[in-house]
Structure 1
């Protein structure tokens, strides 16, 4: 589907079709229109189309009198760190995250170094769609400053947040799969700084993915085999912009992304108890872990910006999403695979346990997912029918409809922003229970649709 997807956090599309340098430049101009005077950081992941889009974005910004800090290839969380460290008014990351190689996209950051909140993003979106752009602030164009070292500031923050000496003493053998994205530049530096014996797969950030870029079990079978054969204590698997992290344990077992957040939350709470925030589609594991530690737990609507909003409101010590996106406020309010790696290693070193044992002591649930075609005008009726049918569940309308049962089972129904469908997510103690609940929900929705 050749469609430019525009959201409140940015846009994405197929390069040369829906996403062209001209479109990227206009979107950057709309962003600039909504910003106060000041510098803007521009970064990109390793995709081959990145330099062309970055040049167009820089031209659009400097043509309107803006000064651009060009950081080249850098991870999404690193972009947030740079915005804050350099006192910029905003940041632009060029990446399509886990989408296929023919895609690229733009993610926007505000002056706080976080992905822009929905209200700010909506202003940019409206400015772009309405063709509003910032007029030049002077008769002379701005300039582009090339940043030579984009990773040290981020590295220093992470090393200041964990016990480097304790981790270094273990000299962990580690496999890092960056899959030719932005992650290896800081990933190798970080792991070597933590005393690890590092092997990196896909180290060159050229976007020539060795496997489908989303770090799921089916895409990482080859990496899991290499981890097992190499004797790695852990394999860390990043997505192309390095804001998500999947884990493979010492036996070559794909642990997955849900457990990345759970392991990190359990470790952080053991050191610094405090509130925890996840989105409403994240596994109940994290909620159970918060209860074990006796700390408040909060759900947010789906979306990184929503998680961050709730974290700030709750004063959370950690938060994130079940797709392997850990947000540690000590570093930056952005999903961050690098602090995730450091926290996992610190947990292993502190407990004296392998990753597999840390995972096996956590609560275990099964998630079943489905999608149902529903005309947009029938979605409210479909959600109402579900709420009326499942009378023993507690309903929450913060993001679509979430139903929670006393036995810990939950069902989330969310309308897609881009398709006339409703997505169903159910988590239960067994796959049979989760699948059965989803089938029942589908049957309830069918007459309404």
Structure 2
């Protein structure tokens, strides 16, 4: 495996260190405006899952709620705890089974539900699971609304239905996957993609996205080489789809003669790419390619988060569109996209958000847009990547006590007085040709330090100096 030469995106936290950090908080349930997350049987048990579901049901004042899960085996147990919490608050449940996270957003809108609970730990290791909440628009709850649910969870002030008002549940037929696939297909020229007869390698890593991914690619006229596409929850490699975790997978793309390799995370809201030579492409460039094609169809505003590569900004400005950044987090990106009437947006973790399909990171529209770009330009993926603006990004993570963070951020800001400071989300410093973003993670017990500059040496120096102050 190799990294693309002109756009280097490196992760500096070893699997061992990451495991140690995750284990260190296994006894603590992570509770935030985004939901809850923890180690099953340790910090995450049926009790907090039921309580959090009851908090959502209380916030929604009853109503109809969609419940889904990714493929982790623990999801079945947690699903029944969620049912109990929702039923106790007088909610009625539509159980749509094992589906990708973006499919939940489609289902909420199509079923006219008041909200949804997705049972997933996203890219966290297999022992983890969690709950992610949606509103009636099919989007993840905003920070403000999520905070209200969090307060209810922490206070325990739940609405409890009487015996004759307790909710009930039904199993919804699995046509929601077909509806999602069709929604994606409606946004691209299927015949153009199909005319190329692409062979595509798809690695779902035992996650929830395999069945829908294979179906969609076949509908686009592709020959699909399926790798771990059964939604059985058996992860063949680390579930976070970064280049460092795909060393065993990447060679298969070239060996199978595939034009592109698509890799999904367990709940299928992130998309990583491998080009036809077997070279891993950073997920930072997944969104870049999707944006490039989308702006070709319709030029308009683009929104990304504060930790996403400047490549997107360059592409937007070259196309004549406007560009803005939000705080990190899907809900924050969506809120800014709505405010600016963005035509596309997302996050540099491989998350593409296309409002025509939904307000959720969606790898399936990402696949369709990237294949469309390859077909229309009649160029291999490696050439499309080589034509993108050149930057080097370094992503690092450090264990920093939260009580020391404020002083550390102040010291970092003082270190670069010439930079423009933005404190919307941690601290982001923008220099003339570089940027540095330092923020505590909402999903892991770490502080993230990300830098991007013209060269790898410059990015590394920025992260090193920030580390010393942390």
**Is the structural similarity TM-score above 0.5?**
yes
Contact conserved, 1:416 with 1:422, CA < 8 A, in 2? Answer: yes
2:182 equivalent to 1:156: yes
Cα distance, 1:414 vs structure 2: 1.5
Residue 114 of structure 1: aligned partner:
139
Query: What does 1:1-80 align with in structure 2 at a 5 Å threshold?
Result: 1-2=25-26, 3-80=28-105
Q: Cα RMSD between the aligned structures?
A: 1.7
Residue 209 of structure 2: aligned partner:
183
User: How far apart, CA to CA, are the structure 2 residues paired with 1:235 and 1:377?
Assistant: 43
User: How far apart, CA to CA, are the structure 2 residues paired with 1:420 and 1:226?
Assistant: 34
User: How far apart, CA to CA, are the structure 1 residues paired with 2:33 and 2:186?
Assistant: 33
Match of 1:206 among 217, 232, 235: 232
Residue 123 of structure 2: aligned partner:
98
Distance 1:418 1:159, change over 3 A: closer
User: How far apart, CA to CA, are the structure 1 residues paired with 2:166 and 2:253?
Assistant: 51
User: How far apart, CA to CA, are the structure 1 residues paired with 2:90 and 2:457?
Assistant: 60
Residue 164 of structure 2: aligned partner:
139
Contact conserved, 1:10 with 1:108, CA < 8 A, in 2? Answer: yes
- Superposed CA offset, 1:207-265 (max 9, x none): 11111111111221221111110001111000000000000011111112011000001
Query: What does 1:77-92 align with in structure 2 at a 5 Å threshold?
Result: 77-92=102-117
Contact conserved, 1:65 with 1:138, CA < 8 A, in 2? Answer: no
- Superposed CA offset, 1:304-349 (max 9, x none): 1111111111111100110000100000000001110111111111
**Which one has more relative contact order, counting CA pairs under 8 Å at least 6 apart?**
2
Residue 405 of structure 1: aligned partner:
431
Cα distance, 1:364 vs structure 2: 2.0
Match of 1:337 among 348, 363, 372: 363
Residue 273 of structure 2: aligned partner:
247
**TM-score normalised over the length of structure 2:** 0.91
User: How far apart, CA to CA, are the structure 2 residues paired with 1:373 and 1:151?
Assistant: 40
Match of 2:303 among 277, 286, 290: 277
Residue 6 of structure 2: aligned partner:
none
User: How far apart, CA to CA, are the structure 1 residues paired with 2:444 and 2:262?
Assistant: 33
Cα distance, 1:369 vs structure 2: 3.3
Moved more, 179-188 or 361-370: 361-370
- Superposed CA offset, 1:39-67 (max 9, x none): 10000010111111112211322243321
Distance 1:392 1:31, change over 3 A: same
Distance 1:214 1:374, change over 3 A: closer
Residue 396 of structure 1: aligned partner:
422
User: How far apart, CA to CA, are the structure 2 residues paired with 1:127 and 1:349?
Assistant: 50
Match of 2:381 among 348, 355, 366: 355
- Superposed CA offset, 1:73-114 (max 9, x none): 010000011001111000010011111111111100000100
Distance 1:58 1:419, change over 3 A: closer
2:167 equivalent to 1:130: no
Cα distance, 1:367 vs structure 2: 1.3
Cα distance, 1:421 vs structure 2: 6.1
User: How far apart, CA to CA, are the structure 1 residues paired with 2:266 and 2:66?
Assistant: 19
Cα distance, 1:431 vs structure 2: 0.7
Distance 1:137 1:311, change over 3 A: farther
Cα distance, 1:383 vs structure 2: 2.2
User: How far apart, CA to CA, are the structure 2 residues paired with 1:239 and 1:146?
Assistant: 25
Moved more, 58-67 or 414-423: 414-423
Residue 323 of structure 1: aligned partner:
349
User: How far apart, CA to CA, are the structure 1 residues paired with 2:403 and 2:445?
Assistant: 9
Cα distance, 1:372 vs structure 2: 5.3
Contact conserved, 2:125 with 2:239, CA < 8 A, in 1? Answer: yes
User: How far apart, CA to CA, are the structure 1 residues paired with 2:247 and 2:194?
Assistant: 29
Distance 1:420 1:338, change over 3 A: closer
User: How far apart, CA to CA, are the structure 1 residues paired with 2:150 and 2:157?
Assistant: 10
**TM-score normalised over the length of structure 1:** 0.95
User: How far apart, CA to CA, are the structure 1 residues paired with 2:106 and 2:443?
Assistant: 31
Distance 1:379 1:15, change over 3 A: closer
Q: Secondary structure of the equivalent of 2:60?
A: coil
2:272 equivalent to 1:265: no
Cα distance, 1:418 vs structure 2: 7.7
Cα distance, 1:184 vs structure 2: 1.1
Moved more, 388-397 or 29-38: 388-397
